Amino acid sequence: MFYIYKRKYCNVAKYNDDKLYEDNIKGDLSLNYIGDDYEDKLYNIFSMIVWRLSTLYNSKKNDLGLISYSNFFKTDSTYREVILREIDEILKEDFLSKSIDEYMSVFE
């Protein structure tokens, strides 16, 4: 979720952008959100991320020789080259990107 946040609000262009590793999140993550659907939006963004990463894991587990979900997140190279690239693809998809924009509005 912080990668999505950085893509949307910290001028991070893609998974290999040097700005990704900068300390560029300033202030509170949630500023004056007045809607009563805060928890729903957070639930939806986490659900979308978990669903997509679960699907990604299942499609890559044989190619990457994975035997558990925890192994999927253990190496930096898998995180950068597989997981963050997948999130970049999600952000390119018009419908999903619009949904993410709606869910992430709690951080505006």
For the stretch 18-48, pLDDT in tens is 999 888 887 666 666 788 898 899 899 999 9
The amino acid present at 59, given as its one-letter code, is: S
Q: Quickly tell me which residue has 């946040």 as its tokens.
A: 5
Q: Is the pLDDT of residue 83 over 70?
A: yes
pLDDT of residue 12: 92
Cβ-contact 66, 57 below 8 angstroms: yes
Cβ-contact 87, 104 below 8 angstroms: no
pLDDT of residue 71: 80
pLDDT in tens, 35-81: 889 889 989 999 999 999 999 999 998 998 888 888 888 888 888 88
* Burial profile 69-93: b = 16 or more Cβ within 10 angstroms, e = fewer: eeebeeeeebeeebbbebbeebbee
How many Å apart are CA 68 and CA 38, to the nearest integer?
A: 32
